[in-house]
Chains A and B, each alone.
Chain A
Amino acid sequence: MEASHAISEAVKMIKPNVIAAYPITPQTHIVEKLSEYVANGEIDAEYIRVESEFAAISACLGAEATGVRAYTSTSSQGLALMFEILFVISGMRLPIGMTVVNRALSAPINIWNDHQDGMSCRDAGWLQIYAETAQECFDLTVMQYKISENRDVLLPSMLGLDGFTLSHVYEPFDIPEQKEIDGFLPEYKPTHAVLDPGQPLTLGALGFPSHYMELRRSQVDAMEGSLKVIEKVYKEYSEKFPVQIKNTRPEKYYHIEEYKMDGAEIVFVAIGSVCGSIKDVVDDLRAKGEKVGLLKIITYRPFPMEAIKKSLKSASKIAVIEKAISPGANGPVFDEISSLLFEAKSAAEIRNFIVGLGGRDVKLDHIQKIYDMTKKSQGKKQEWMF
């Protein structure tokens, strides 16, 4: 099955009460399948056909505020249109689950993959998790609800997967039994936001300067505290659902996946499906005796600073490979890793390689070249691999 349908299967199994989505390429396959499931009764949910992504996310907000489980999915411009409501949802602490099928932003209009949409929303107070494979798409969708709905977290979550290069690619993946998923993810029992005429409450009231900072701080605390919850959920899932198909996911989920990092002096850092190609290059280089590894980031928000610092401890050269750019600065992940290295007083050389924008192929040759440049300390701090 394709990765889009791994998401649809997972969403079916987490039993959402409300699905509100507006179709946008390359997210369409996910919501097409879900509307089929609702129509034929396989999912007992309200499927709200909305007129825009702004309406989709707003419908999810309203639904979740009544105390039920809501789901939406989008890409690119759609996510940009949701931007305002993303902050409202995280501020109200509504644990909505969303899938973002990562796609480039206009202009020029482009339907293909990069990470600019997700990265542009990194400060919205949503948890962000990125998948590399179809199996990870399935697993992380189930896990994202367990994490978001945890009483100590109560933050919405975004699962990112690469448009086309992952969403439309057929891969084998394992689907556990429904009763096992039910055992892992209990029914959502809201504790703070339940719009109910029998017990009126106010959501989204004015926050005066006297309280706003404290409320923001509580959001930050929840985000920081969620690191431990995420780790626990990853562990529980990995134990409950061991690997069925080799090489389709990490054996033990963690904030990061360390691939051949033992004794690695030169390290690639990347997010998403490009990690598959990087692993191939790492295998080749290791076979030639090169000390190289890959650090794949799965949890991006909260940023797993300690895990990354620890993992990069003995690296002497680091290449951050990114599919997003902050014009006038660097790739967002590069800046964050650089700041961690500074904190850790690391002397490692770090370079930023911008790749794959708007669906440009990232070939093994590109990665090989990145390795060569990093090893020989060639090129500028920020290099674009066209």
Chain B
Amino acid sequence: MKKQNRIDYGSLKSKIGSVEITTGAVLESNGSTSKTKTGAWRSLRPVVDEKKCIGCGMCWTYCPEGCITKKDAKKFEVNFDYCKGCGICANECPVKAIAMVVEEK
């Protein structure tokens, strides 16, 4: 087994205009998806009607972004930094407690 080199990330950085890039678009450390906030792509926002919510957790199970978190037994919260507004949660909700509302910016 060949001994691995340590990478000096500083030496990989360069700038073209005002944009900083790295050789081969290498990103230091893992977890780059959580650093990239994609909530701005959203045109529809899920709004939970807490009166209707039965706390089944289907929205939490189906969210493809994993951006719905369970706050307590009957309360689920959406992280709008990552929610792209796909509407899968609203579609899966068995009691139709989630409405997709147009984002107004």
Contacts from A to B (Cβ < 8 Å): 17, 67-68, 91-94, 154, 189-194, 196, 198-208, 210-211, 214-215, 217-218
Contact = CB atoms under 8 A, between A and B. Distances in A.
Given A91-B24, A202-B26, A215-B21, 9 more contacts: A17-B2, A67-B4, A93-B24, A194-B5, A196-B4, A203-B25, A210-B19, A214-B21, A218-B16
A192 B29 contact: no
Given A94-B24, A200-B30, A205-B27, A217 B16 contact: yes
A202 B2 contact: no
B61 interface: no
Contact of B26 (A17, A203, A206): A203
Contact of B21 (A67, A190, A211): A211
B24 A191 contact: no
11 contacts: A190-B7, A191-B12, A198-B4, A199-B7, A201-B26, A204-B25, A206-B33, A207-B25, A210-B19, A214-B16, A214-B21
Given A68-B2, A202-B29, A192 B24 contact: yes
A155 B30 CA distance: 24
A206 B23 contact: no
A194 B16 contact: no
Contact of A215 (B12, B25, B28): B25
A208 B21 CA distance: 12
Contacts of B5: 67, 189-191, 194
B23 A194 contact: no
A265 B12 CA distance: 48
B6 interface: yes
B72 interface: no
Contact of B8 (A191, A198, A202): A191
A192 B21 contact: no
B14 to A, nearest CB: 7
Contact of A194 (B7, B14, B27): B7
A192 B26 contact: yes
Contacts of B4: 67, 194, 196, 198-199
| Of B19, B31, B32, B33, most A-chain CB atoms within 10 Å | B19
A200 B29 contact: yes
A92 B8 contact: no
A199 B6 contact: yes
Nearest to A190: B5
Contact of B7 (A93, A192, A211, A214): A192
A265 to B, nearest CB: 44
B22 interface: yes
Contacts of B7: 190-192, 194, 199, 201
A92 B24 contact: yes
Given A201-B30, A214-B16, A218-B14, A154 B6 contact: no
Contacts of A203: 24-27
A203 B25 CA distance: 7
Contacts of B11: 191
A154 B2 contact: no
A26 B4 CA distance: 36
A364 B8 CA distance: 56
